[in-house]
A and B are shown apart, each in its own frame.
Chain A
Amino acid sequence: MQEQLINRAKELLADGTVVRVLGWRRGDMDYNPEVAYFNSADELNDFVYNGFCGANLSKYMIEASKLEGRTLVFLKPCDTYSFNQLLTEHRVDRDKAYIIGVGCRGKLDIEKIKAQGITGITGITGTPDAVKVSTIYGDFDIACKDIRLERCHVCKGKEHRVYDELIGESADTRDADRMAGVEAIEAMSPEEKFAFFRAELSKCIRCNACRNVCPACSCRKCVFDSTKFDSAQKANTTSFEEKMFHIIRAFHVAGRCTDCGECSRVCPQGIPLHLFNRKFIKDINELYGDYQAGESADQRAPLVSYTFEDAEPGIVSERGSK
C-alpha cells in the first residue's frame, strides 16, 4: 500500500491538486517513523506507511490550514473522527485539506514489544498478522494481535468518516470491550479507586504530551498555561498532584474526545489516560444517549445540549459506588 500512497501523492503534487503532503517519514528505527511534510516527489521517497504509523495527523492540519495552498493528508479511519471534530470546531479548514482515507488493519505498540523483555531491536519486518523482531540478542516472532495499540482493540470500525478518496483495505480489529477498563474501576471501592488513580497519576511528570498530542486539546493557550485563570502550573509538589490537570483536561474534552487513544499512546509514564476520557464517554452514552464525537461534522456535542428530562446529578450517588 505504501507504494500506492507514494505514487498517488506524487500525482497529486504533480497536477497541482496539493502543494504539500502530510504523512509519515521513515525513522531511524523501523518502529519510529515521524510525522513529516513532503514538498516534492523526491522527498516522498522517504515516505513510509506501516504498522507503526499510529500517529493521528488530524491535529497537524490545524497548522496546515494556516499555510498557503492545499495539503494532502493521510487519515486512518479513526483519525477521520478527529478531523471531523476539528471541523465542527472551526479549527481546520476543509478546503485546505485533500484527504486520502488510508486503509488500516490495526497499528502496533512498540511499548508492548518492549514489555515482553525485548531490547536491542535492530529491525522489525512482517505481514499484517505477525512481525519478526530482530535484536542483537536474537530474533522473535510475535503475533500482531498481541502488540496492537490499545485503541485498536476497541477499533471504531473501518469506515472513514470524511475523505476525498480512499486507498487500501481496512479491517475492524475490535476484540475487546471498550468499557471493560472503566467498568473494572467502577466496580472498585472508593478506597481502591483512589489508590489506583493515585498510583497512576503520581507518575505524571506534566510533560503535557497527552495534551499536546490530543486533537481535542487544540486550544491556542491551555488554561493550565494561562495566567488569567490562576490555574497556570507546570508541576506541583504533592503526591496526588496532577489530579486537577487530568480531571479538568478530561472535562474539557468531554463530548469532544473521539477516543482516538493518542494520549495513552504517547504518555511516557504509561498512564492509561483513556480511562478518564472513556469514563465521560460511558456516562454520556448512558445518561444522554449514544454519542460518538466526530462521527459527522454537524453534531451538537452533549455538553452544549440538554433535554428537559436529563438525569439529576444525584444519580451519581444513587448509582452508588459499586
Chain B
Amino acid sequence: MQRIGVFVCHCGSNIAATVDVKKVVEMAAREPSVVHAEDYPYMCSEAGQAKIAQAVAEKGLTGIVVCSCSPRMHEATFRKAAERAGINPFMVEIANIREHCSWIHKNIEEGTEKAIILARAAIAKVNLNAPLFPGESRVTKRALVIGGGIAGIQSALDIADAGYEVDIVEKTPSIGGRMAQLDKTFPTLDCSACILTPKMVEAAAHEKIRIYTYSEVEKISGFVGDFTVDIRKKARSIDATKCTGCGVCQEKCHSKKSLSEFNRGLGTRSAIYTPFAQAIPNVPVIDREACIKFKTGKCGVCAKVCAAGAIDYEQKDEIITEKYGAIVVATGFDTIKLDKYDEYAYNQSKDVITSLELERVMNAAGPTKGHLERLSDGKHPEHIVFVQCVGSRCSDERGKPYCSKICCMYTAKHAMLIRDKYPDVKVTVFYIDVRTPGKNFDEFYRRAVEEYGVNYIKGQVGKVAPQPDGSLLVQASDLLDNKQIKLKADMVVLATAIEPDPSVRPLATMLTASIDTNNFLTEAHPKLRPVESPTAGIFLSGVCQGPKDIPETVAQAGAAAVKAIGLLAKDKLTTNPCTAKADELLCNGCSTCANVCPYGAISYETKLINDHGIREDRRVAVVNNALCQGCGACTVACPSGAMDLQGFSNRQIIAEVDAICR
C-alpha cells in the first residue's frame, strides 16, 4: 500500500471560504492509505512546498495528494516539489477543490462534502499510481521548410543564421512565392521585388541552406526531433550544374504559347522557362506538357542552342530521403476560383480581373509592361471600379466565411498608385467595411481618399454587366445615400478572397497536423502557441495558418524559426511518460489500436512470448513512446484491455469512479 500524504490548501480564502479545510484534512486522514494530512494557507508558496518535503522526510510518503487549485495551474509546481523531496513526480495527484468546488458552491456544507469526495478520488488514484520516467529521444539538427515564399525564406534564413542546416522545398521552379508577383507593397509603396530579391539571394547563397525547387514532399514519417522525409525532385530536364542561366533556350524555344503561371495566366511563356527574371535558381525547367520534343519527339532546339549542354531530356524524378528535427510549414495561399460568381462577369470579360492580376498588370515585367490598360482592347481606362470582399465573409458555399484581411489595404494601395500615375483615371471603391488595423494603415487609407481623391462608396456591387460598347455596367448600392447606383466602368478589379494553397491538405495528412474547416493549419493554442502545430515539431509560418500581410508573415516566420531553433538547440528531448503501453500477454495483434492512433505510434512485432509457461510466437503491439502523445484512443479500441495508458490507467480511472460513486 502507498503511504500517502494529503495537503489541503486554503488558497487564502479562495478555498477556505466555502470549504471547511480542517474537515477535509480530518476526513482525508481517515482513508486507509493516508499517513499524513495537513492544511496550509498557500500550498504553492515556498513554505507550502517545504511542508511536502518535510512530510516526505518524516513520514516516508510514497504518494502525494494536493487539494488545491486546478492541476492546469500548479500540477507542475507540486510535481517538481515532490521530485525535490525525492518522490517520483508522477506520484502526485491534484484534487481540484478550487475551480471545481469552492468557487462555484456557495454553501459550505456542500462545498466541504464535495471537496472530501474529490480528495478521496485523488487518493484512490494515487493508490494505483506508479512511478513514471520520461524517455529520451535524439534531435536531428536540421530543419525542413516547406514552401519557398517570403515566409519560408525568412524562417529558413533565421534558422540558418542560428547555425542550423535548413532545406527549403518549393514546388514551383523558383523560390519567391506570391510576394514575387506583387508590384508594390503597402503602406510604404516600396517595390516588392526590391525588398524580396535580396532575401532570395541571401537564402540561395547561405551555406547552411539547401534549396530544392520544383520539388515536393512525398512522405513524412517519424516524430519530433527525428522526422524522415522523402522529397520528390521533379525532373527539370536541365542539368542545373551545367546551366549558366543565359536564357538563350527560352528565346529559341518554338513553343511559346503556354500561359504564364507567374503572370496569372495573363501572358504567355515558352515551354522551357524560368518563371521570372530574378528566379532563384536561375535554371529553367522544361514543361513537358507543352514541349514539342516531349510531345512529338522532334524539335530539340533548346539542346542545340545550349552552349553548356545542360539540356537533359532523359532526366527522371529523383527521391531524396533526409532526416530533420523540425519542420516549418510555409505553404502560403492562392486566390479562390471565381467560377461561382457569375454576377461579377469575371469569366465573361477580360476587363474584370482579380487584384493579384492587377499586380501583374501594374508591374513593369508584367504582361502590359506596367502600362495600365484594358486587357480586352489595350485602351487606357477612364474609370476603374474596385469591388471589396469578393468571396470573403461569405456564409454560403460560394465563398469563405473569414475576412481575407489584406484586401482593404492592397485596394487602397492600388487605388492610390493608379491615381498617382494616371490622375485622369477615376477610381471608385465599393466596400462593406474598411478594415485598417495596423501601423500606418488607416493613415494610408485616408491618404487614398483625401490626397488621391479615391471615391469610396459603402455598398456592395450586385452586378457587373459587359456592355456592347465594351464598357462594364456596374450596379451597386450606396447604403449611406440609400440609393441604387449604376456606373459605367472600363475595368473592374475584384478583391478576391484568399485560401490556403491546396497542397496543404495532403501535407497535413502526412504531418498528422490538424487543419480547420477552411484548410488553414491549426495552431497548438490560438493565443499562447500561435506558431506551433499541435503535432510536436511542426511549426507554422505565414498564410498557411491564417490570412496575414507581409510584415505579419515575416514576423510569424521569425517566430516559427525561433521555435524550431529552440527545438534544434536541444540534444535530446524528454518524452511525456504518460503514454500507452501494451501488455504483451494480453495483446491479440489485431491492429485495431493502430487504426485509431493519430500519431502512427503503434507498430507490430512478432515476438516469442512466454505466457505463464506457454511459449509461442505472437504478433504484438509496440508503442513508440516518442510518438505517443497519450490520448488513450487505443486503450478503448483494444477489446482485450491489453493497451493501457500510463498515468490514466483503466484501474486508476475506475478507482476514481468508485470513489466518487461510493
Contact = CB atoms under 8 A, between A and B. Distances in A.
Judged by CB atoms under 8 Å, the answer to whether A and B touch is yes
Interface of A: 66, 88-91, 217-223, 226, 228-231, 252-253, 300-301, 303-305
Most chain B CB neighbours (cut-off 10 Å) among A66, A228, A252: A228
Interface stretch (B271-279, B530-538, B584-592): B584-592
Interface in B439-492: none
A230 B588 CA distance: 19
Contacts of A304: 592, 595-596, 637
A29 B184 CA distance: 94
Contact of A220 (B595, B596, B640): B640
B639 A226 contact: no
Interface in B348-372: none
Given A220-B640, A229-B650, A230-B654, 20 more contacts: A89-B588, A90-B604, A90-B619, A220-B588, A220-B611, A221-B586, A223-B639, A223-B640, A228-B583, A228-B586, A228-B644, A230-B651, A253-B639, A301-B592, A301-B595, A304-B592, A304-B595, A304-B596, A304-B637, A305-B595
Given A90-B589, A300-B595, A304-B592, A219 B640 contact: yes
A228 B641 contact: yes
Interface in B84-98: none
A47 B323 CA distance: 60
A156 B442 CA distance: 70
A220 B588 CA distance: 6
B343 interface: no
Most chain A CB neighbours (cut-off 10 Å) among B585, B639, B651: B639
Nearest to A254: B639
A222 B641 CA distance: 8
B322 interface: no
A222 B590 contact: no
A308 B102 CA distance: 38
B640 A89 contact: no
B155 to A, nearest CB: 30
Q: How large is the interface on B (under 10, 10 to 19, 20 to 34, 35 or more residues)?
A: 20 to 34
B640 A90 contact: no
A228 B639 contact: no
Interface string B626-657: 00000000000101110010000011001000
Contact of B591 (A90, A217, A253): A90
A140 to B, nearest CB: 44
B654 A89 contact: no
Contact of A228 (B589, B595, B650): B650
A226 B588 contact: no
Nearest to A251: B639
A286 B432 CA distance: 45
Given A91-B590, A304-B596, A219 B639 contact: yes
Contacts of B592: 89, 301, 304
A305 B611 CA distance: 32
Nearest to B593: A304
Given A90-B619, A229-B651, A230-B651, A223 B641 contact: yes
A220 B618 CA distance: 11
B588 A218 contact: yes
Contacts of A300: 595
B588 A91 contact: yes
13 contacts: A217-B639, A220-B586, A220-B587, A223-B639, A228-B586, A228-B644, A228-B650, A228-B651, A230-B654, A300-B595, A301-B595, A304-B596, A305-B595
Contacts of B585: 220-221
Contacts of A89: 588, 590-592
Contacts of A252: 639
B26 interface: no
B659 to A, nearest CB: 13
Nearest to B583: A228
A220 B641 CA distance: 11
Nearest to B609: A220
Contacts of B588: 89, 91, 218-220
Contact of A226 (B586, B591, B596): B586
A141 to B, nearest CB: 45
Contact of A303 (B586, B637, B651): B637
Contacts of A231: 641
Nearest to A305: B595
A229 B591 CA distance: 20
Interface in B555-598: 583, 585-592, 595-596
A68 to B, nearest CB: 13
Contacts of A217: 639
Contacts of A229: 641, 650-651, 654
Contacts of B619: 90
Contacts of A222: 640
Contacts of B641: 223, 226, 228-229, 231
